Amino acid sequence: MTDLPQQRFLIGEAAKFLGVSIDTLRRWERDQKVAAQRSDGGTRLFEIWELNRVKSLLFQKKSIVREGADGYQAVREFNQLLPRLQRSVIR
Q: How confident is the model at residue 82 (pLDDT cuts 50, 70, 90)?
A: confident
- Whether residue 33 contacts residue 82, with contact meaning beta carbons closer than 8 Å, is answered with yes
The answer to whether residue 4 scores a pLDDT higher than 70 is no
Q: How confident is the model at residue 68 (pLDDT cuts 50, 70, 90)?
A: low
pTM, 2 dp = 0.62
Q: Give me the DSSP letters along 8-72.
A: EEEHHHHHHHHTS-HHHHHHHHHTTSS--EE-TT--EEEEHHHHHHHHHHHHHHHHHHHTT--HH
Q: How confident is the model at residue 38 (pLDDT cuts 50, 70, 90)?
A: very high
Using a pLDDT cut of 90, give the percent of the chain over it.
Answer: 42
